[in-house]
Amino acid sequence: MDVVRVQSEDFDVGAESERLHRAADEVGGVVIFIGTVRGGAVRAMTLEHYPGMTEKSLETLVEEARRRWSLAAVTVIHRFGRLLPGERIVFVGVASRHRAEAFAASEFLIDRLKTEAPFWKKEETEEGTRWVEAKEGDEDRARRW
């Protein structure tokens, strides 16, 4: 069973990992990616989104991953609101029979999520605030799929 959630509250990495691990008898591997707010010059990041549209976009990415690879379960959780350095932003977890499919699907999901999901990010730094655009490298990674 797949899970797609967009929420302001943090997620429980252990519980989400365990759910993926127990998704089906044939699970041979679980791959998890957790994205966090970088520190350094960034004091905080605010993520905004369109409720309904965002969830549908993420569900569409999960459906595409399922068409490409044989997957037992997928979880995509993305947070919104004001987050501080070190806080978790996104959880992408994939369970499958074989590790290669889990790794590929996980990488596909995070690459495409970064460029296609309707989230807007604003960083707070010493110099002020600024909206964050997708990086060219992110676009290149998404195009390879």
Is the predicted pLDDT of residue 55 greater than 90, yes or no?
yes
pLDDT of residue 14: 97
pLDDT of residue 25: 87
H or E element, residue 113? helix 99-116
Is the predicted pLDDT of residue 134 greater than 80, yes or no?
no
Is the predicted pLDDT of residue 4 greater than 80, yes or no?
yes
First to last CA, the chain: 24
pLDDT of residue 45: 97
75 SS3 class: strand
- The pLDDT tens digits for 32-51 are 999 999 989 999 999 999 99
Query: Average pLDDT of 13-20?
Result: 97
Fold of 3-143: Aldehyde Oxidoreductase; domain 3 (3.90.1170)
- The pLDDT tens digits for 76-96 are 999 999 999 999 999 999 999
Query: Average pLDDT of 123-127?
Result: 93
Q: Annotate 30-59 with b (16+ C-beta within 10 A) or e (fewer).
A: bbbbeeebeeeebeebebebeeeebbebbe
Please state the domain extents for the chain. 3-143
Instruction: Quote the pTM value.
Output: 0.94
CA distance 98 to 145: 20
- Confidence category of residue 103, pLDDT binned at 50, 70, 90: very high
Cα distances (angstroms) measured from residue 72 to each of 9, 30, 78, 97, 111: 26, 10, 20, 7, 20
Q: How many DSSP H helices and E strands does the chain contain?
A: 4, 8
